[in-house]
Amino acid sequence: MASLKDLKNRIASVKATQKITKAMKMVAAAKLRRAQDAAEAGRPYAERMGTVLGNLAAGFEGRDDAPKLMTGTGRDQTHLLLVCTAERGLCGGFNSSIARLAREHADKLLSEGKTVKIVTVGKKGHDALKRGYGQYIVENIELRGLKSVEFSDTKHIGDLVMEMFQDEKYDVCTLFYAQFQSVISQVPTAKQLIPAQFEAKDEAQDGSSEDALYEYEPGEQEILETLLPRNVAIQIYSAILENGASEQGARMAAMDSATRNAGEMIDKLTTTYNRQRQAQITTELIEIIAGAEAL
């Protein structure tokens, strides 16, 4: 049984930890707001891009001269996994759930006899995948010390992915990140980047007559060829923004439960402490009474 002094020290240390987790929670809450705003502000661009590309791509369906970024290389052998995670830990299952999804994906591909290459964005993802999948990692990109991520900060990731595609180093590229839904729910998501996939537009029926009248300058083909690489960069950028919001959300939830847990622990320790003190007093009293009776 721990002595009274030990218990006192224990309580003090748990209290100190609780203060830290509480502060981290509040910092995460403040950062979450900013990250969420950034993610939401970035959405119109990505959405518009998707709509325009979807319309354009529909016209190229099944044509031989469609850009390779859309149709793929015709093979399905080498897969590039682009795994986006956070730079820092202490955010619950955020990093590990993305890494787990990527690992499952990689295992599935490997068991099918495919070649896997991994590019990680963020230190934590690299750490998580280094063991066991180290030989597949071709590149690790860190976005350290950036207060807010601007499009130009992530452009080089897109450039790298494009360069590798042009050098035919892979056939299919999949992006892994966590979609932000709410503070308590971030969904690890796998999204195929190359060949590009566009969601079928439900407005296609009524819009089709209008689409036919679209004029393009320069040609349809040139526009598609300039937009597709840009779309890759945008997709990566918006994934990183989503990730930023998810990370802060996950950290906030994790720190909140850590704070609550510390509170429970303090309560329990205080009860034990009081009980022991009581016991000690009782023992002392019994000793005194026993001494008095003996006289």
Residues known to be catalytic? 91
Q: Which of 194/227 has CB closer to another protein?
A: 227
| Closer residue to another protein in complex, CB, 60/273 | 60
**Termini Cα distance of the chain:** 33
Closer to another protein by Cβ: residue 88 or 230? 230
Burial group, residue 10, by CB count within 10 angstroms (0-12, 13-18, 19+): middle
For residue 157, the minimal CB distance to another protein (Å) is 13
What SS3 state is found at 145?
coil
Residue 133's H or E segment, with its range, is helix 123-133
Other C-beta atoms closer than 10 Å to the C-beta of 194 total 27
Phi/psi at 192 (5° precision): -80, 120
Sheet arrangement for strand 137-141: 137-141, 115-121, 78-84, 172-182, 185-194
Q: Tell me how far, at minimum, the Cβ of 41 lies from another protein, in Å.
A: 4
Which two structure tokens, joined as six digits, stand for 278? 């009581």
For another protein, which is the closer residue by CB, 21 or 235?
235
Q: Closest distance between another protein and the C-beta of residue 46, in Å?
A: 8
Least Å from the CB of residue 204 to another protein: 14
Cβ proximity to another protein, 5 vs 147, nearer residue: 147
Q: Which residues in this chain contact another protein in the complex, by CB under 8 A?
A: 38, 41-42, 44-46, 48-49, 52, 56, 150-152, 210-211, 213-218, 222-223, 226-227, 230, 234, 237-238
Smallest distance, another protein to C-beta of residue 211, A: 8
- Residues in Cβ contact with 277 at an 8 Å cutoff, skipping those fewer than 6 apart: 4
CA dihedral 192→159→131→128, nearest 10 degrees, is: -70
Q: What is the C-alpha to C-alpha distance for residues 38 and 186, in angstroms, rounded to an integer?
A: 16
- Tell me how far apart the 2 most distant CA atoms of the chain are, in Å: 114
